[in-house]
Amino acid sequence: MRSGMASLTGNTGPAGRKIKPGALIAVSLLCAAVLTGSTGCSKTEQKVVKERAINVRVQKAESRSLRPFVETIGTLNPYDSVTVSSELDGILKSIRVDEGSPVSQGQPIAEIKDTDYQLAVEQASAVLKQAEAALANAQQEHRRKEALYREELVTKQQFDDIVARLAVAAGDVEKAKAGLDLVKEKLGKTRIFAPMTGSIKEKKVTVGDYVRNGTFLVSIIRTDLLKLLFSVPEKDVGGLRADQDVAFTVDAFPGREFRGRVRTIYPSLEEKTRSLQAEALVANPDRSLKPGLFCRVTLFTGPPRDTVVVPINALQYDNATTKLFVVEGNRARERKVKIGRKYGEFMEIVEGVKDQETVVVVGQNNLMEGVLVHVAR
């Protein structure tokens, strides 16, 4: 009985040896420490296994054949314009055109009352006839005096007088002819003709108006060809050349693109805007485009070339640095890139990304170098 009680209290071992209470406590603490350590290790391993993946959307970088260009704005102007004015004083007898009327070169467009000018022609004709009669009389007298002078029946002074009278009579005839030509010219100017083919832009007079020399009658513009006037910023002037292609759109025809070709480059920049003006020639056979339309212009400054592009929303900007993230395996890799031109919703990548690399386009704000990513489908 004592033996059993001693065993329960831990005072003796199986061989009957005594076990001290301190040793029993040490063994108990060691076992507790071992159990605690093994539990901590398992928790650490569990954290590594459960690394959180960042959800992202991706898109492939693409190599496209694209033309370098400059975007700007411009205005359409008529190819030619002319102001038709009166060259005479008088009452406007008729005007045969209105705003918007098409006209052809040489077409009559207005007429000034010509009564006074008809009378002036008749008067000049009479003066000419009188001068011609005086010349004929002087010629006849000259022939008689010349014969008499040879026979020394008239003095030299008398002969010189008839020679002078003959010269004056001939001069009077020439003067009368010039006067007649002048009034005929004025009579012809009572009818006013279109100097070129085009359309009437503006009409300033009406029948019955008294007009003077220089009075504005109508203006004519040519619209089967148009000039596209636009400006190129100073930084892009080096790429501007004659005969370059131009594409443009106007709000009046959404979804439709028009084409032209650079014809004129101005010789100097505008100091206020630091830009250079240029003109492109635009064919307009159906006259659908109108002078004055506002245009969004794309000037192509070179031939097509292979260009790597990525969506604009893939880019991140940090002061002077531009970067993006690519996915390699299941990890995000940060890339610093050098960008070029903007092509619609895409940006040219000059350095930093190659064709067909996987670029993060959504979720990149949550990424850092090397983090685990999950590509959303």
Determine the 3-state secondary structure of 34 from DSSP: helix
Q: Is the pLDDT of residue 17 over 80?
A: no
Does 10 map to a domain? yes
Same domain, 233 and 289: yes
Same domain, 292 and 314: no
| Residues in contact with 365: Cβ distance below 8 Å, sequence separation at least 6, in sequence order | 316
275 DSSP 8-state letter:
E
Q: Among 71, 59, 60, which Cα is nearest to 343's?
A: 71
pLDDT value at residue 67: 87
- Of 273, 300, 327, the residue that ends a domain is 300
Does 128 map to a domain? yes
Does 277 map to a domain? yes
| Single-letter amino acid code for the residue at 33 | A
- Calculate the CA 93 to chain-centre distance: 45
Cβ(111)–Cβ(93) under 8 Å?
Answer: yes
What is the mean predicted confidence (pLDDT) over 13-30? 43
- Of 253, 273, 300, the residue that ends a domain is 300
The percentage of the chain sitting over the pLDDT mark of 70, rounded to a whole number, equals 87
Same domain, 295 and 309: no
Same domain, 119 and 178: yes
Provide the domain count of the chain: 4
- Of 144, 170, 189, the residue that ends a domain is 189
Average pLDDT, the chain: 87
Does 214 map to a domain? no
Cβ(250)–Cβ(228) under 8 Å?
Answer: no
Same domain, 168 and 238: no
Q: What are the tens digits of pLDDT across the range 205-230? A: 999 999 999 999 999 999 999 999 99
Q: Is the pLDDT of residue 4 over 60?
A: no
DSSP string, 105-169: TT-EEEEE--HHHHHHHHHHHHHHHHHHHHHHHHHHHHHHHHHHHHTT-S-HHHHHHHHHHHHHH
CA-CA-CA-CA dihedral for 189, 191, 195, 201, to nearest 10: 120
Q: Is the pLDDT of residue 70 over 60?
A: yes
363: tokens are 């979720």
Does 101 map to a domain? no
338: tokens are 């050098």
Candidate from 43-57, 105-119, 318-332 with smallest mean pLDDT: 43-57
Does 40 map to a domain? no
Does 245 map to a domain? yes
- Give the number of C-alpha atoms closer than 13 A to the C-alpha of residue 262, restricted to the C-beta side: 21
Q: Is the pLDDT of residue 246 over 50?
A: yes
Q: What is the CATH number of the domain that holds 120?
A: 1.10.287.470
Q: Is the pLDDT of residue 59 over 80?
A: yes
The percentage of the chain sitting over the pLDDT mark of 90, rounded to a whole number, equals 71
Identify the domain containing residue 1 by its residue range.
Answer: 1-28
Tracing tokens 């004519």 back to the chain, one arrives at 220
Tracing tokens 């006209």 back to the chain, one arrives at 103
Across-strand partners of 54?
373
Tracing tokens 């003066």 back to the chain, one arrives at 127
What is the mean predicted confidence (pLDDT) over 165-192? 94
Same domain, 231 and 292: yes
Across-strand partners of 85?
216
Same domain, 278 and 331: no
Q: What is the CATH number of the domain that holds 61?
A: 2.40.420.20
Residue, of 48 and 289, whose pLDDT is higher: 289
Q: Are strands 210-211 and 90-95 parallel, antiparallel or unpaired?
A: antiparallel
pLDDT value at residue 48: 52
Does 47 map to a domain? no
**How big is the chain, counted in residues?**
377
Same domain, 293 and 231: yes
Q: Is the pLDDT of residue 189 over 70?
A: yes
Q: What is the CATH number of the domain that holds 296?
A: 2.40.30.170
